[in-house]
Amino acid sequence: MDTIIERIKKFNAPLLPDKVQLKYRAMTESPFRFFRGTCHLFYEDLARVKDFPVSPPVWICGDLHLENFGSFKGNNRLVYFDLNDFDESMLAPLNWELARVLTSIYVAFDTLNLTKAEADTMVKLFLKKYSEVLQSGKAYYIDPRTAGGIVSDFLIKVKKRKEKDFIKKIAAPVHKQLRISINDQTHFAIQKPLKTDLMQHLDSLLEKSTAWPNNYEVKDAAFRVAGTGSIGLKRYMFLLQNTKNKADFLLMDLKEGTRSSLAPYNPIPQPQWTSDAERIITTKYRMQNISPALLSTTVFKGDTYVLQEMQPFADKINLDVLAGNLKDMQCVLLDMATLTASAQLRSCGIQGSAINDELTAFAHETAWQKTLISYAKSYAGQVKKDYKQYMAGYKSIKTK
C-alpha cells in the first residue's frame, strides 16, 4: 500500500498547486485538523473493512464532523444552527455518516486533551439521542427560538451581528472606493484578466436572474481560502454594491464543485446529476431545514460552481472553549445528534433513500451500535498514527 504522504498527494493532485500547500500546512496543526483535511483516507480505509454494520441508504453530508455544524442565515432571513457542508454529500449507507461523526468526537477529544472515558461517554450519549430522534420519525430544527443552553447563547450572539461590521472586517477603502482587503492568508489577489472575467460573469448572472438581487453590481473580487478539506479548490469572493443605496454592500462566495471523495467506494447507485455543484446544493436543500440565502449553481470557464451569500451569521462553536465545560459540550453534541437524525428523516424516501418507516425500525435496533463505536474508537487511533506519519513526511510534501 502507498504511504500516507503518497495517498494524500495523489488525491490532492488536481488542486491548485500553490493553494494546496496551504492545505498541507493547515493539516499539520493537529490530528483533528488532519482528520478534517483527509476525508478521502477515511473512506478508502472504510471500504476495506469486512463485516461493517449494514444500514439503510440515506442522504449523508459525507464529511460529518464537529466543525461541520454551524450557524447561517436562511433564505427566509432567519438564523439557524445545522449541518453546513455538503461537498462530499451522496446517497450512502447511514452508518458511514455515523462512523465519520463518532470518529470525529474521539479525535477532537484527544486533540483537546480530554480523556478517553469522557469521549466514550459523549459518543454513547450522541448515539442515544440520535436513535431517539430517528425512532420518533420527526425531523427537528434549531433556531434562536427553539435552541437551548450554549447553542441558544451562541445563536443569540450571532443574530446580533451587523452586515456593516462584517463588511468592515473584509473590505477597506481604496481611493475612496471599498475593496476586499488582500491579506495573503484567507484573501488573495486575482490576476487582472481572470478577475475581469469573474466580475463580468457574476454581473451577467445578476442581470438575468429573477431570484437574485439585480439592484447590485460587482465591485471587487478575490481568491478565497476557507475550511480545510476544500483548500486548493477554485474559490472566489465578490463584493457587491447596491446601485440605489451606495452604503449597502453584499458579499458572495463562488466555490468549485468537485467529485465526492466517497464516490470511488460507494456501492449505492446515484442519481444522474448534471454536475457536482447540482449534487451539492440539491442535497443541501433536502437535508437542511432551511438552506442559506441566495444558493444556486453556475458554470464558469467549463467548471461548475456553487454560489451563495457570505454572511456575518456564518460561524462555528469554539470547541476549545467547550473543552473546559463538559456540560456545555454535552448540550452541543446532543443538538448535533438531533440535527444528524433530522437531516436523514427530512430527506428520506427521495431517489433511493430509505423511507421513514425503515429508519425508525433501524433506530429501534441496537446490535449495530457497539460495533460502530468500536470502529470509530479504533479508527481515531489510526488517525493519530497517520498524522504522526504525515508530520514525519511533511517536508517531502511541502514545496517552496
Residues 10-20 pLDDT 10s: 999 999 999 99
Residue positions counted in the chain: 400
How far apart, in whole angstroms, are the C-alpha atoms of residue 89 and residue 263? 9
Nearest to 41 by CA among 63, 59, 22, 23: 63
Torsion angles phi and psi, residue 369, rounded to 5: -65, -45
pLDDT at residue 233 in the model:
97
Q: How many CA atoms lie within 13 A of 123 on its CB side?
A: 29
**In the chain, which residues have pLDDT < 50?**
400
pLDDT at 317 (0 to 100) = 84
- Residue 142 DSSP label: B
**For residues 332 and 318, is the Cβ–Cβ distance under 8 A?**
no
User: What pLDDT, on a 0 to 100 scale, did the predictor assign at position 78?
Assistant: 84
Position 313 scores a pLDDT of 67
CA distance 148 to 302: 45
The pLDDT of residue 42 is 98
Among 123, 121, 125, smallest CA distance to 133 is for: 125
The pLDDT value recorded for residue 396 is 85
As given in the structure block, the three cell numbers for residue 5 are 504522504
**CA gap 310, 236 in Å, rounded:** 11
The x, y and z cell numbers of residue 194, run together, are: 481572470
pLDDT of residue 399: 64
pLDDT of 75: 81
pLDDT at 400: 47
